[in-house]
């Protein structure tokens, strides 16, 4: 996942957007799928700021019991595979672990993911700890 700061050339609004990759950004841009959160103009461009890679904190969020849309389900499963491979699972200690990394510069090679309540995420945000909520499906056989 890559975060870009996008700028609207129409109203000068700056806003952050997440993309699966720089390629995905280019694709969406080319198809005019990117638009300004404020005025709706498609005249938006990423600023020259270096993309920020997500490496600090993750949380599980949506539990989809019976996905109606198989394509969405498959996509989520793919994300999960990526996350499981590249991030360390910390379960319900997510908020604690995220703070450890943020405040104590705790050395972790991998980013973390786990579960957190809405309140915890809100608190983390107020403390300047950015997290990303991603859809999550549970395997039926575990």
* Among residues 10, 17, 61, 93, the one that binds Zn ion under rule CB under 5 A: 10
Could you tell me how far CA 115 lies from the centroid of its own chain? Answer: 14
Q: How far is the CB of 125 from Zn ion (least distance, A)?
A: 24
Applying CB under 5 A, which part among 4-12, 23-31, 61-69, 109-117 lies near Zn ion? 4-12
User: CB of 96: closest distance to Zn ion in angstroms?
Assistant: 39
Distances (CA, A) of 114 to 108, 124, 129, 131: 15, 14, 15, 11
Residue 11, interface with Zn ion (CB under 5 A)?
Answer: yes
Distance CA 35, CA 28 (A): 10
Q: In terms of Cα–Cα distance, which of 63, 56, 51 is closest to 24? A: 51
Contact pattern for Zn ion over residues 18 through 37, marking x by CB under 5 A: ------------------x-
Sign of CA dihedral 85, 86, 90, 95: negative
Site track 36-55 with Zn ion (rule: CB under 5 A), x = hit: x-xx-x--------------
The contact set with Zn ion (CB under 5 A) reads: 8, 10-11, 13, 36, 38-39, 41
């Amino acid at each position: 996942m890559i975060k870009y700061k996008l700028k609207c050339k129409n109203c000068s609004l700056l806003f952050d957007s997440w993309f699966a990759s720089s390629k995905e950004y280019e694709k969406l841009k080319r198809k005019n799928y990117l638009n300004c959160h404020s005025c709706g103009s498609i005249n938006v461009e990423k600023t020259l700021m270096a993309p920020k890679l997500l490496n600090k904190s993750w949380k599980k969020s949506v539990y989809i019991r019976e996905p109606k849309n198989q394509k969405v389900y498959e996509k989520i499963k793919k994300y999960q595979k990526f996350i499981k491979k590249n991030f360390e699972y910390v379960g319900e200690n997510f908020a604690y672990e995220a703070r450890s990394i943020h405040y104590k510069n705790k050395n972790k090679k991998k980013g973390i993911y786990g579960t957190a309540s809405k309140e915890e995420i809100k608190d983390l945000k107020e403390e300047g700890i950015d997290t990303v909520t991603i859809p999550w499906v549970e395997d039926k056989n575990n």
